[in-house]
Structure 1
């Protein structure tokens, strides 16, 4: 169950019984379906990239889709689709927040 206060959910490509979910491109497919749900609504060419609210990624070697709460605020049915996709396929879901990598500093010579 996803809490109503979740800022982001991570749909992980691991089933409840620990198996890797197939097909191997499931994350890209799910994110592709959600591509038109974005700030400002669909734009010309928006079908060519992912929505910032539903992004496929790999975390610790596990394919995931990060779904932002703003998707729920913009289009509750799209949010429900993602949550129900995870539930219907027995995928593990975690409530978390994706933190960007820290910028790397240039190396200096001594």
Structure 2
């Protein structure tokens, strides 16, 4: 996927079989691991917080994470980590807008 159809993907806390992914704080944990990755303009003097490229959210009552495609260009291994996490746990991944609204809801 060289040219994304959206600048963002939404990883939903629901497996392909429709089961809720556990633990219930998985989105915050994943975003916490990715919190070190920020645009270069934020280097130095950062406060503790989530990366703008990997943000936990709730979408239609489901824990989710919004991932910006900019992460892929800034740190490809971090992008691969997030996408592999979704694949390994059989989570739904959808193109979305910046607010996490799926472009093609499942």
TM-score with structure 1 setting the length: 0.81
Structure 1 residues without counterparts, runs of 5 or longer: 101-110
Structure 2 residues without counterparts, runs of 5 or longer: 101-106
| CA drift at 1:95 | 1.1
Aligned CA-pair RMSD: 1.6
Q: Identify the residue that residue 43 of structure 1 maps to in structure 2.
A: 44
| Cα distance in 2 for residues equivalent to 1:99 and 1:58 | 10
| Cα distance in 2 for residues equivalent to 1:85 and 1:30 | 9
Q: Identify the residue that residue 67 of structure 2 maps to in structure 1.
A: 67
TM-score with structure 2 setting the length: 0.84
Alignment size in residue pairs: 97
SS at match of 1:34: helix
| Cα distance in 2 for residues equivalent to 1:23 and 1:32 | 14
SS at match of 2:35: coil
Larger Rg: 1
